[in-house]
Chain A
Amino acid sequence: MFRADAIKDLIESALPACTALVYDDANDGEHFRAEVVSSAFDGVNLVKQHQLVYAALGDHMRSDIHALQLKTYTPTRWEQR
């Protein structure tokens, strides 16, 4: 079991100028969905953007987070969405 709030805190404290919206849609504490905005994503490709988020979550990605559907945005893209 994991909490969406805990995921949000881990991501936001690891990335600069970051807002993470984390949803536990199934309310099962295992399958999450996140929208993450950060200036760290400027100028880096999608793979690297996702790797930054995964790095923030560390071992949780291999243990208590069973799945995390992820969408990353640079601040500019977030405003244009």
Chain B
Amino acid sequence: MSEEHNVQDFIKDLVTGSKVVLFMKGNKFFPQCGFSARAIQLLQSCGTEFETFDVLSDVDVRQGIKEYSNWPTIPQLYIGGEFVGGSDIMMELYQSGELATLVSTPAPE
């Protein structure tokens, strides 16, 4: 993935390929950062299945994901292909009950 548009296409395929996708540092069993760990806990508390992508494993995606949603930090949550937010927004949405609603809403056909 030497060319930038390929990274963006790759990310688009990832976020549209699964209902709930979290870009994080590490994986759901071994998060490598406190914010990623908190994001995992919130998703697990919602009882949803989700995919993760470890940005530490791919420097192009680590940079490209920041451009994809104009968002400078990791973790990043995508639901139904749409960017939802980072860990602070996830916490707010969790506390208001919106996160559970978002992850349980069926994807449009």
- Chain A interface residues (CB < 8 Å from chain B): 46-47, 50-51, 54, 61-62, 67-71
Contact = CB atoms under 8 A, between A and B. Distances in A.
Interface string B55-83: 00000000000100111110000000001
8 contacts: A47-B83, A47-B84, A47-B89, A50-B85, A51-B71, A54-B73, A62-B66, A62-B72
Contacts, number: 31
Judged by DSSP, the binding face of A is helix
Contact of A50 (B35, B66, B86, B93): B86
Given A46-B85, A50-B85, A50-B89, A67 B72 contact: no
A71 B88 CA distance: 7
B85 A54 contact: no
A67 B35 contact: yes
Contacts of B86: 50
B83 A50 contact: no
Contacts of B49: none
Query: What 8 pairs between A and B have smallest CB-CB spacing?
Result: A61-B72, A46-B89, A70-B88, A54-B72, A47-B85, A69-B88, A62-B72, A46-B85
B92 interface: yes
Nearest to A67: B35
A51 B88 CA distance: 13
Given A46-B92, A67-B35, A51 B70 contact: yes
Contacts of A61: 72-73
